[in-house]
Amino acid sequence: MTMQYNYGRQRGSGTFFGVVLALALGAVALGIFVHHARSGVAGKLATMITGRPLTIVSAPDVVEKVQQLNRMETVAYSLDTVVEGSESSTVPPDAPASDKLLMIVHGQTTAGVDMSKLQPDSVEITEGAQGRSIRLTLPPSQVFVTTIDEQKSRVYARDTGLFVKADPNLETQVRQKAQSQLQQAALSDGILDVAMKNARATVTAMLEGLGFEHVEIR
């Protein structure tokens, strides 16, 4: 009776399972390394492996990074408006005279959030089974500036009465009036809400890039 032993097949099977076991152990070791590598050379190496920053970002770090954004302009509102101004007098008595001006004004209102006003107690970071979470309260949105575009603004009509000289300051006064009207129009159309919405989107993207899995911006 002849007995046959397949030594080659058994050695091959053992080698295969050995490779699988080695790969599994390597994957576990890599996972542990990446999970604990948060700073120094290990942190940089883990970042290269995963393609994302793994350094633990603290609340003071978040405050510093957000404050560096300073006066972040997030929306610009442009508008054309027609503004009228006038100066009147009675020279001589009972003889009315006036200086009237009609101007077409193009202007722009810029709004955003002054991130330098972010307070340390406005940041709350928590650790959980599903990753790191952050809750951040931004400073209120505000109008930064309303400007008149002199290139696109012009005097449409001016009527100076017989008994009055043209007021050299009337055009300046009309521009100031237009500036106020433009800003009020932007506020009425919700520029502050849009500014805050855009600021939240920008800060959310930044915090997600810092490794936070859950971001809540208020």
Tell me the per-residue pLDDT of 69-122, one tens digit each, with 9 for 90 and over. Answer: 999 999 999 999 888 776 655 445 444 556 677 888 999 999 999 999 999 999
- Tell me: pLDDT of 46 over 90: no
pLDDT of residue 71: 92
Taking each continuous run of H as one helix and of E as one strand, the counts in the chain are: 5, 7
33 with 100, same domain: the answer is no
94 with 44, same domain: the answer is no
pLDDT of residue 211: 87
Task: Give the type of residue at 198.
Answer: N
129 with 211, same domain: the answer is yes
40, 105, 200 from 56: Cα distances, Å? 11, 51, 22
Which of 103-112, 151-160, 173-182 is predicted least confidently? 151-160
DSSP 140-193: PEEEEEEEE-TTT-EEEEEEE-TTSPPPTTHHHHHHHHHHHHHHHHHHHTTHHH
Max mean pLDDT among 3-12, 28-37, 155-164 falls in 155-164
162 with 72, same domain: the answer is yes
CA nearest to 153, candidates 191, 108, 109: 108
139 with 41, same domain: the answer is no
- Mean model confidence pLDDT for the chain: 76
Which of the four pLDDT bands, split at 50, 70 and 90, describes residue 175?
A: confident
92 with 26, same domain: the answer is no
Domains identified in the chain, total number: 2
CA angle 151, 156, 162 (to 5 degrees): 130
112 with 82, same domain: the answer is yes
Among 18, 34, 54, the domain boundary falls at 54
21 with 75, same domain: the answer is no
3-state secondary structure at position 190 = coil
**Domain encompassing residue 49:** 1-54
47 with 61, same domain: the answer is no
Among 54, 73, 88, the domain boundary falls at 54
- Tell me: pLDDT of 10 over 60: no
- Tell me: pLDDT of 130 over 70: yes
Give every CB contact of residue 8 below 8 A, 6+ residues apart in sequence.
Answer: none
9 with 88, same domain: the answer is no
Number of Cβ atoms within 10 Å of the Cβ of 75:
20
pLDDT of residue 145: 96
207 with 173, same domain: the answer is yes
More confident residue, 158 or 164: 158
Q: Structure pTM?
A: 0.67
pLDDT of residue 166: 63
- Tell me: pLDDT of 21 over 60: no
